[in-house]
Amino acid sequence: MIIGMRKTIYIIIAFVGFMIRQFWLPNPFAPFGTYAELINLIVSGFLAIISYATVGTVYERNSIPFLGSILYLMVYCIYSAELWIAFRFYPNIFWVIIVLMLMIIGDALVIKMIRKNI
């Protein structure tokens, strides 16, 4: 019974996470105009892989599925927000690159600190 309840909670959280990612998060590539949707479609696949890998550094697969789903959603939203912030500087590519590099360094440091404390 408890296993069935956990699976149900996981399915609900995964569905809510999907809905948030698809309909609530803004397109970070909106400044690119007509190509924004295509770029978002391509990059979101990579973003999903990177988010999954990031969560995998602190979460053991299948240990608590609904927790993994929540962590994945949180990481995906953070990375998407970082892209949105970085591309607010477009068309000034210099500042886009600087902001992205600072965010990558910051993300790496946060992941390192979290892994050190686990």
* Alpha carbon distance 93, 95 (integer Å): 5
Q: Mean pLDDT, consecutive 10-residue segments, the chain of 118 residues?
A: 75 91 89 90 91 89 85 93 91 92 92 81
3-class state of residue 59 by DSSP: coil
Residue given tokens 């892994």 in the structure block: 115
3-class state of residue 91 by DSSP: coil
CB atoms < 10 A from the CB of 38, how many?
11
Beta strands in the chain, from DSSP E residues, in sequence order: none
Whole-structure pTM value: 0.84
Category of 79 on φ-ψ map: left (φ > 0), alpha (ψ -120 to 50) or beta: alpha
